[in-house]
Amino acid sequence: MALVERIRGDLEQALRNKDSLRCSVLRMALSSMHNAEIDQRKAIDDAGVISVLEKEAKKRRESIEAFEKGNRQDLVDKEKAELVMIMEYLPKQMGRQEIVEAARRVIGEVGAKGPNDKGKVMSKLMPQLKGKAQGQEINDVVVELLGSTSP
């Protein structure tokens, strides 16, 4: 079953269960997917759905961070609950060790020697890990590894 169909089915179930938060999150996700289809002038596939959901998850993470700084625990809790629901539809996220292993493999393939080679590594690594890890975490690992390989 296509991911968008799964989300629509879950929305129908949430409506039946009168789960207002889940309804809100799933409607937002479907709306974002619809907007992406309009932007691209074609229906999006599962990869497109995952991309939209990743953007929504990133928004939630940024909101959580901002609300924590603003000492708004009520909004932090709401955003965290929404993030959990969004993450249900994304592929399982890689652990830090898996990211490190993938980064080391790519560093070896491109022959990166130091921080100046970060662009080469990231351009090859990001497509491999898309949807499986957060970009910021991948970036942190690459910077750390390249910093430790410099002469």
- Spell out the domain ranges in the chain: 3-87, 96-149
**How many angstroms from the chain centroid is the CA of residue 101?**
20
Note the CATH architecture for domain 96-149. Answer: Orthogonal Bundle (1.10)
Q: For residue 133, what pLDDT is reported? A: 86
What CA–CA distance (Å, rounded) separates 98 from 22?
31
Token readout for 62 is: 């940024």
- Give residue 31's pLDDT band: very low, low, confident or very high (50, 70, 90): very high
What CA–CA distance (Å, rounded) separates 16 from 36?
27
Tell me the per-residue pLDDT of 2-28, one tens digit each, with 9 for 90 and over: 899 999 999 999 999 999 999 999 999
Q: Which CATH class is domain 3-87?
A: mainly alpha
Integer CA distances (angstroms), 35 to 29, 79, 82, in order: 10, 22, 20
Tell me the per-residue pLDDT of 125-136, one tens digit each, with 9 for 90 and over: 998 888 788 888
Q: For residue 114, what pLDDT is reported? A: 85
- Give me the count of residues in the chain: 151
Gyration radius from the chain CA atoms: 18
Read off the pTM. 0.76
